[in-house]
Structure 1
Amino acid sequence: MKARILSTVGLWLGIILVLVIFKSFGGLVLLAAITALAQYELYNLLEIGGKARPLKVLGLVLGVCVILASYFLPVSGAMEAPAIALIILSLSLLSAPKIGQTFMPTLFGLAYLPFLLQFYGLMLAEWGSLFLPVWVIAVAKFSDVGGLLVGKKFGKNKLAPAISPGKTIEGAIGGVIASALVGIILSLAFKSLIPFDMPIFKTIFIGAAIGAIAIISDLLESQLKRWSGVKDSGNVIPGIGGAFDLIDSLVLCGPVAFLLFKYVY
């Protein structure tokens, strides 16, 4: 637990420092780097869990391009980079026709991480606000914190025992409430940094929704690790594990938050 706390504090300080110095570009580079590392770990999980032989280098290069394009290309062309990446990946079938072993796992790694995480870059491009994706990340991460604290004290009923035995329904409720509260606190404390009005009731709804999605996103990664028979996706972060372990709860939150910001506010 001590190593986890120290790693978490160190990571947040490092991220804040990069964002203060390099602003949006620094955030984009961080997103691309963390996504690439997580994608690499996901490919390793697919190799361990089955007979998959993903085209790692090609998948990682295309993934980085998708992330960078989310910011540098117009938001109206958000599907252009993923479409081009799919075309390029499809060409690999000419030399590596084993669809089940190479193409499909490579495509899954590309679609599940870079494609979904690009929505954090799209937030930057759409609203020009670095605070907005940071708000989503903080709200999602406090779902973990709230779930851990409430679950330890009040948790009795298992949420998904076959996937993650430690998670409880009480902890999940606590995590959703924590996300909603953090969302409200941050929106009030940094109101000047938000590019649109965030009414309190809508913020409660969106914060709670992101908290719930964060739990589901975390469970999906746990399912992948259980299928592969490993405890952590990697060991680059003491007390946390790998990059995929670090961002597992954020994967589904990006697109959900983007849609909520666009159509609810």
Structure 2
Amino acid sequence: MPSPHTRRTSKLPYDPAEAVAALSAADPKLGRLIARVGPCTMKLAGAQSPFEALLEAIVYQQLNGKAAATIHRRLLESFAPPGSIARAGDEPFTRAPHPTAQHMLDAPNEQLRAAGLSKNKALAVRDLAAKTLDGTVPTLAKIRKMTDDEIVAHLSQVRGIGPWTVEMMLIFRLGRTDVLPVSDYGVRKGFALTFGKLKPQDKVTPMDLPKPDVMLKRAKKWSPWRSVASWYLWRACDLAAADKLETVKAT
């Protein structure tokens, strides 16, 4: 069943099997996690421009996935011409093109707020649109020629866009291989589960989560495949949740 503005995906621009083999050889403990999870099935969001990817990222910040998806859909559909919104079962979706940066900049505040954007997110969306139009947010062709650090520096100029948001774009839109989002909660928790003393049944406290320098020190051996290592650390959290559920069922 189609979902609102169904996101097309594309293959990674590198061989994940090569990354898995290198990581397993470089770090046996990480290798045990990889063996338990299985092959890396990460996909890229293959149809999004930098503007579209960052717009979605802003909407999703500090919200659960379902609520964010609803707001994102409403926002995009608010720009759709009459007749372009259809339904597949209970799910609405639009066949209309994604709104442009100029559309977003010209939209009245009432339209953005009616879609569910907070005041701060509406301001961030407008700033993203303005900085896309003035070239601060590069085109996809230009951004592909930039280093990771250059991309972070450029995009962090947008209101509401910090290093974490750019790191997600580097991993899941641009397919960069060597990104380790040390501020990401899931990556930190996965690190603690894999390399620390945290157990699946434990309640996580701030003391359980590793500091960035600890993560970066171990991750030196993962380079140039730290993005794939991060993907497996997220999967460690999924495994822990499944293990915890099985423990509850067994009691």
Q: TM-score, normalised by structure 1?
A: 0.30
Q: Which has the higher helix share?
A: 1
Q: TM-score, normalised by structure 2?
A: 0.31
